[in-house]
Amino acid sequence: MGVVSTFRTAVGLTGGRVLTWSLLGRLPNAMCPIGSLLLVTHDSGSVWHGSAATGLLALAQAVGGPPLGRLADRHGQRRVGLAAALVNALAILALVGASQAGLPFWVQLACAATIGASVPLVGPLSRSRWVHLAAGDTAATSAALSVDGLVDEISFTTGPAVVGLLATALDPAAGLLLAAALVGSCGTLFALHPTAAPGRGRPRHRAAEPLVNTPYALLLAATALLGVCFGSVQVGVTATTAALGHAGAAGLIYGLLGGASALAGLVTAALPARLGLPLRLRAGTALLLTASLPLPAVGSVSTLTLAVGGLGLAVAPQLITIFGLTERTVPAGRLGEAMAALVSAITLAQALGTLTAGWVADHYGPTAPFRVTAAAAAAALLLAAATATEQRYCRREFTPLTKAQPRERHSSASMP
């Protein structure tokens, strides 16, 4: 399946408008961390205050994401997505008001935590939705996840850039105000679209459908190691460009990682069916390690740019593969929760990678954070080489959720 066919197949599942709403509905998730940092730092005059608000926002998102995904699986994406979008928009506006009014810092922290805990999960729920709509069509599932990966990369590359431009041209609050408008409108439209996955009700026997099994736990670990790579690369790029006298290039170079990743993810759907998902995971982590090895030795902005671009080629294909394996290994009725937990694993691990890489940069030099990247990639490769087999990730059958719906589990085969 070529790139054009991939787009056509994905659009055929949902229509073009819902993909647009999915993209615009995700932008606030990428805009709020940097927007909160800029706003609170500007209004309080304290970088620590801004960092604390941003860190609490990320922590609340990581902790609150899986329960919100569980609610969406149980009660439907429309009800839960609509409520989350409205609460999230109000929380963003509350943070802007509290910061500009100079309210006590604990009030601002409470607003930031509410923003994180109420993120509408447009990304995780869209992946769950695409799998539901594909209804067993392996080509459609692969195409949808590939396009979804492209949408993710665009949002996380564009969001911070938009906030930075608005902060420079207008006011630090402008980015968050736009985020509130986007999540309130596009997040709502995404939630209410007829393609939204219906709820499956409360299972009578929760023990019959455990979310965490050995294969899924391994996927969480693989995702966390990828998050460490993200955090350490971000610090490494920032420190290295500053040491080379081109600090302003950091954002563009890190954005290149997202761009390369997006293109590679889109091409993933064209891979032949004989390359099964476990093999792709092993190959992807090998590419991740290979691409990370030159990073500690970069000595110029041009070589750093090439190295980071090469690393980006391994990111989206690996994430898409992990999403596909997750669809195999968890109950269909808990897929939204499972996808949200993967995002939480990335978020928490990225924070850990950032902290570790920052300490390493202070003690061992500006390119030292890339050693953390290479170490995480090596650990990911060892994990995949030892565990990623067709036997381990064969499709699992789960006990039906209700007697009235004896075959709730999708019958889709593995992605090509």
312-332 mean pLDDT:
84
pLDDT beyond 70 at 3: no
pLDDT tens digits, one per residue of 386-416: 998 888 877 665 544 443 333 333 333 333 3
pLDDT beyond 80 at 258: no
- Report the alpha-carbon distance of residue 6 to residue 142 in Å, rounded: 8
The dihedral through the CA atoms of 254, 252, 112, 343 has a sign that is negative
Q: Which is nearest to 80 in space by CA: 236, 188, 240, 224?
A: 188
Position 226 scores a pLDDT of 93
Q: Which residue type, as a one-letter code, is found at position 11?
A: V
Position 408 scores a pLDDT of 36
Q: Which CATH superfamily is domain 212-397 in?
A: MFS general substrate transporter like domains (1.20.1250.20)
169-193 mean pLDDT:
90
Query: Cα dihedral angle (102, 105, 107, 112), rounded to 10 degrees?
Result: 110
Position 7 scores a pLDDT of 64
What is the CATH class of 1-202? Answer: mainly alpha
Half-sphere exposure of 307 (CA within 13 A, CB side): 23
Q: Report the mean per-residue pLDDT for the chain.
A: 81
pLDDT tens digits, one per residue of 197-244: 676 656 555 444 677 788 899 999 999 999 899 888 888 887 888 888
Sorting pLDDT into bands at 50, 70 and 90, what band is 385?
A: very high
Residues of the chain with CATH 1.20.1250.20: 1-202, 212-397
Sorting pLDDT into bands at 50, 70 and 90, what band is 2?
A: low
Q: Which is nearest to 153 in space by CA: 292, 317, 269, 351?
A: 317
Task: Say what percent of the chain tops pLDDT 90.
Answer: 26
Tokens, residue 213 = 């099994």
pLDDT tens digits, one per residue of 76-107: 888 888 999 999 999 999 999 999 999 999 99
- Report the alpha-carbon distance of residue 81 to residue 283 in Å, rounded: 36
Position 5 scores a pLDDT of 64
Position 137 scores a pLDDT of 66
* Higher-confidence position of 364 and 1: 364
pLDDT beyond 90 at 380: yes
At 392 the three-state DSSP class reads: coil
* Higher-confidence position of 135 and 397: 135
pLDDT tens digits, one per residue of 325-352: 887 888 877 888 888 888 889 888 888 8
Q: How many residues does the chain have?
A: 416
Position 411 scores a pLDDT of 34
178-188 mean pLDDT:
93
- Report the alpha-carbon distance of residue 62 to residue 52 in Å, rounded: 15
Q: Which is nearest to 31 in space by CA: 149, 164, 230?
A: 164
11-27 mean pLDDT:
79
Position 297 scores a pLDDT of 92
58-65 mean pLDDT:
86
- Global pTM? 0.75
Residue with token string 């087999």: 389
* Higher-confidence position of 335 and 373: 373
308-328 mean pLDDT:
86
2-14 mean pLDDT:
65
319-328 mean pLDDT:
84
For the chain, what is the radius of gyration of the CA atoms?
21
